[in-house]
């Protein structure tokens, strides 16, 4: 099975230091939805692995998170694409859970749910924790410079051999060519 794992905020949609707290605040990064559609057309299953601590912080409820994901799904369908599953961590750092990236709980759940090894699977993110979780699981971390990417690219803890792309569209072109 061909699989790609994507972070959400800063990769698919614009990020905010104040969190994406409503469907109105969710805005796709130009080219990201078409990039996901291109992955689908090339036979890839696409899943999202996203930390959503705004739920745990009480900034928004699960209904709101579901509405945000519904907006993502509908916008993506209009671009001719789809996401096979969305895995999220609703916890804060203080909860010390296993699913909050850079821990690997979300990635282990993806592996279990799809019954696939993540060795070499492209995992695209904009923050160090996205890339660390991917590398720990043997996936191929890929950094995009959207979102927090420009800050992340100079982090000394960036996993060795992480390719860097301007945005999701550029990363997808690399994957499918």
The domain total for the chain is 1
**Is-catalytic flag, 167?**
no
Are the CB atoms for 8 and 2 separated by under 8 Å?
no
List, for residues 91-149, the tens digit of each pLDDT value.
Answer: 999 999 999 999 999 999 999 999 999 999 999 999 999 999 999 999 999 999 999 99
Residue-level pLDDT at 49: 98
Handedness of CA 109, 110, 114, 119 (dihedral sign): negative
pLDDT (mean) for 77-95: 97
Q: Any idea what the CATH number is for the domain that residue 113 is in?
A: 3.40.50.1000
List, for residues 30-72, the tens digit of each pLDDT value.
Answer: 999 999 999 999 999 999 999 999 999 999 999 999 999 999 9
Q: Quick one: pLDDT band at residue 15, thresholds 50, 70, 90?
A: very high
Q: Of these residues, 9, 15, 126, 130, which one is catalytic? A: 9
pLDDT (mean) for 72-101: 97
**Global pTM value:** 0.98
Q: How far is CA 77 from CA 32, 40, 81, in A?
A: 13, 11, 5
**Is-catalytic flag, 84?**
no
CA separation for the pair 160, 66 (Å, rounded): 35
Residue-level pLDDT at 134: 98
CA within 13 Å, CB half, 46 = 25
Domain that holds residue 170: 3-176
């Amino acid at each position: 099975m061909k699989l790609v794992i994507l972070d959400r905020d800063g990769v698919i949609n614009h990020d905010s230091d104040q969190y994406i707290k409503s469907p109105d605040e969710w805005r796709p990064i130009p080219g990201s939805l078409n990039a996901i559609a291109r992955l689908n057309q090339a036979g890839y299953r696409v899943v999202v692995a996203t930390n959503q601590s705004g739920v745990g912080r009480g900034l928004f409820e699960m209904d709101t998170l579901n509405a945000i994901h519904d907006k993502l799904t509908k916008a993506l369908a209009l671009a001719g694409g789809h996401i096979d599953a969305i895995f999220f961590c609703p916890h804060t750092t203080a909860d010390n859970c296993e699913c909050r990236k850079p821990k690997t709980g979300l990635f282990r759940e993806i592996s279990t749910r799809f019954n696939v090894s993540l060795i070499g699977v492209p995992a695209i993110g904009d923050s160090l924790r996205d890339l660390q979780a991917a590398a720990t699981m043997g996936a191929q971390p890929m950094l995009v410079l959207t979102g927090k990417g420009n800050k992340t690219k100079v982090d000394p803890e960036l996993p060795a051999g992480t390719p860097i792309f301007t945005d999701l569209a550029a990363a997808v072109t690399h994957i499918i060519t």
